[in-house]
Amino acid sequence: MSLDAAKNAYTVGKSYGEIDNDILNPVEGFPEKRWWTWFTISLTGLLVYLGVIGYSFVKGLGIFGINSPVNWGVYIIGLVFWLEIGHAGTMISAILYLFRQRWRTSINRAAEAMTIFAVTTAALLPLIHLGRPWMVNWLFPYPNDRGPLWNNFNSPLLWDVYAISTYFTVSLFFWYMGLLPDFAAMRDRAVLGRNQLKAKTAIGEKLLDMRVWLLKVAALGWVGSGKAWHHYEKMVMLLAALATPLVMSVQSILSFDFVTSVVPGWHSTILPINFITGSIYSGFAMVLSLVIIMRSAFNMKAYITDRHIDNLGWVMLFTGMLVFFGYFIELFMAYYSANDFEQYVWTYRFVGDYAWAFWLTMVTILLPPHIMWFKKLRNNHTLLFIMTVIINIGMWFERFVITVTPVARDFLPSSWRLYVPTVWDVIVVLGEFAMFFTFFLLFVRVLPSIAFTEVKMDEAGDLAKGKGHH
């Protein structure tokens, strides 16, 4: 069987040792200069971001562009955006696992890591927007000395706390448990390498011993027996079944922050569906961006094949059309209802003060994925990468439009006021991306970015069927 044919079958056509060496080389080798360059840039951005947060604690949230009635600014826009980004990881890891889609094995590890880092980035934002984050414990129902003061369990803002924390916990377990066989393989390689390599210094020897010890702890005593694999597969199936409804519930509950209000433009039953489709759309765009970079930077073309990128692109095309249909239905419902307030909100989006953001959103999220119809264009990975960046820029501005325009022009004309982002708002947005990419850059240098144990299991399956070659 040729290597090209093996790629089409999602196999890599390599021996197990070659698979280990290829995937673990970025982890066990010394980082390249370009990695240090990008890590320095992202870490600097993260430190500036944390500095602005500290400054806002001293000066107050008034340094940002938020006002009354536009009380939600970049923090809540970022919350929705990053939670959307995180849902593709669960989609690839859990839902595609339940449907036995083998092509997920080379990209699920990076997608799961993206979920953890995106949710972490998102979770920090409402904490800051509280104004008094040291009182965040008031969000949790527990016996207290505050008398009759308890949480408002009718508030979807409280539901967010439970939905996001549950989603993060399940995703973290799913990610870590999937790493166990790989940790065990890294542990065995580290023990063998320590025995063969004589450290030149006492410090070097101590570092090797520490690495072996950390991997032993991380592997949780994994031995790879048949019984262990049996329990492992049952565990993965259970976590996948638990994580799948969370894709729907988290975005639905997040949309309830808007839907349960009486504000025109928010009070729409189509929003939960739009949030779900939008989350898959933007999340797959981010996954595609990351795997294209990983494929090129770490020479992973044998593992992240053209077929993987092609499948991700087709999912984006399908969900992109769903997003367009959702917009059309939302617009149709507003005008068919003959509600003056709903119609005004949409008219204001078309020609009002934020029309530039609305039309930028429409152009950047609805047109780019249609290049997937053409084989020559979808085989151009540079073009696909640019497409994914444009789409996620558009998805950020979509959340800007949804969050800002309805309240900037609410029921009382006397309270109308525009939201104009300040330089601090811009730094916060850039800092969110810096935080996300700092975590991801550390991930690709510390942990295997591809689940090589699962890749080898696919290879073994194909060999048993007579499809593979070594």
Per-residue pLDDT reduced to its tens digit, 404-424: 999 998 888 888 899 999 999
Q: Residue 465 pLDDT more than 60?
A: no
Higher pLDDT, residue 175 or 31? 175
pLDDT at 230 over 80: yes
**Range from 132-136, 246-250, 314-318 carrying the lowest mean pLDDT:** 132-136
Q: Is the pLDDT of residue 466 over 60?
A: no
469 pLDDT higher than 50: no
225/88: higher pLDDT: 225
The rounded distance, in Å, linking the Cα atoms of 248 and 276 is 6
What is the pLDDT at residue 212?
86
Kindly provide the residue ranges of all beta strands, DSSP E only, lying in 377-466, ordered along the sequence. none
Confidence of residue 463 (pLDDT cuts 50, 70, 90): very low
Q: Is residue 224 helix, strand or coil?
A: coil
Q: Are residues 356 and 456 in the same domain?
A: yes
For residue range 40-56, list pLDDT tens digits in order: 999 999 999 999 999 98
- 434 in the same domain as 306: yes
The whole domain housing 179 covers 169-222
Looking at the structure, tell me whether residues 129 and 201 fall in a common domain.
no
d(CA 445, CA 27): 5
> Quick one: the chain helix, strand, coil %, rounded to 5?
75, 0, 25
Asked if 352 and 213 sit in the same domain, the reply is: no
Judgement on whether residues 174 and 279 belong to the same structural domain of the protein:
no
pLDDT digits (tens, 9 = 90+) for 181-210: 999 988 888 887 666 555 555 566 777 788
- Structure tokens, 208: 């090797």
Residues 334 and 202 placed together within one structural domain of the fold: no
In a domain, 141, yes or no: no
What integer pLDDT is reported at residue 198 of this predicted model?
Answer: 56
Do 293 and 173 lie in a common domain?
no
Round to whole Å and give the CA distance between 441 and 220.
Answer: 25
On whether residue 240 sits in a domain, the answer given is no
Same domain flag for 266 and 396: yes
Total domains in the fold of the chain: 2
Is 5 a member of any domain?
no
Q: What is the pTM of this model?
A: 0.89
Mean pLDDT, the chain, rounded, equals 85
